[in-house]
């Protein structure tokens, strides 16, 4: 049926390969989000399935990486409902560490102190992107907020960009 619809409307490229289209509203929203990232904010992108949250996050990551004013970190964890704060701390260590063999301290206090120092030495704001964030539990979300505060107390700046379904707002 998809092929028939494409032929009927004269479409040659499937939607998932058509690229990224930005309206003036998207551009304004991207600038607002970029400003919030530079300030070290917690950002939640909420929308129904298929509304473009993931595409927008990918585009935002591309822009930030090209500008080289913000270090982009991404959680690659797939099973978000099982993800704990330690998962996101590990993602930050992997993305910020300059060593070939990344060593993440097992002891909590040392781990957080080392992470805070990594962010500070980075000398740029860090943005951690988490897609499908609606599956995270409340303790993990609270921990991410506390981690942002901990990094800020150490003269660094960490933003967390969460994308998920509308239930993320709750």
pLDDT score of 166: 75
Single out the residue of 139, 163, 159 nearest to residue 92, CA to CA. 159
pLDDT score of 1: 54
Tell me the backbone φ, ψ of residue 4, rounded to 5 degrees: -65, -40
Q: Which two tokens stand for residue 8?
A: 């009927």
pLDDT 10s digit of each residue in the chain, 170 long?
577 877 887 877 776 676 667 789 888 999 999 999 999 999 999 988 888 888 889 999 999 999 999 999 998 888 877 789 999 999 999 999 988 888 999 998 999 999 999 999 998 999 999 998 888 888 999 999 999 999 999 999 999 999 988 765 45
* Domains and their CATH numbers in the chain: 19-169 (3.40.50.300)
H runs (alpha helix) in 69-155: 85-96, 108-122, 138-153
Rounded Cα distance, 65 and 81, in Å: 28
pLDDT score of 60: 94
CB 131 within 8 A of CB 98: no
pLDDT score of 162: 94
- β partners of residue 127: 72, 159
Rounded Cα distance, 169 and 147, in Å: 20
Q: What DSSP designation does 132 have?
A: S
pLDDT score of 88: 94
pLDDT score of 22: 78
Rounded Cα distance, 69 and 114, in Å: 22
Say whether 164 sits in a helix, a strand or coil: strand
pLDDT score of 144: 95
Say whether 65 sits in a helix, a strand or coil: helix
């Amino acid at each position: 049926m998809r092929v028939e619809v494409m032929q009927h409307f004269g479409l040659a490229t499937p939607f998932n390969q058509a690229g990224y289209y930005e309206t003036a509203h998207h551009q304004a929203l991207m600038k607002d989000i970029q400003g919030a990232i530079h300030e070290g904010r917690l950002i939640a992108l909420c929308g129904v399935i298929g509304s473009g949250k993931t595409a927008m996050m990918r585009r935002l990551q591309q822009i930030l990486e090209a500008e080289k004013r913000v270090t982009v970190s991404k959680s690659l964890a797939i099973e978000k409902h099982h993800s704990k704060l330690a998962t996101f701390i590990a993602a930050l260590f992997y993305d910020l560490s300059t060593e070939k063999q990344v060593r993440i301290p097992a002891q909590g206090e040392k781990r957080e102190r080392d992470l805070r120092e990594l962010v500070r030495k980075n000398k740029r704001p860090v943005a951690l992107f988490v897609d499908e964030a609606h599956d995270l539990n409340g303790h993990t979300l609270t921990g991410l907020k506390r981690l942002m505060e901990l990094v800020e107390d150490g003269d660094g700046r960490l933003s967390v960009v969460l994308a998920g379904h509308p239930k993320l707002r709750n």
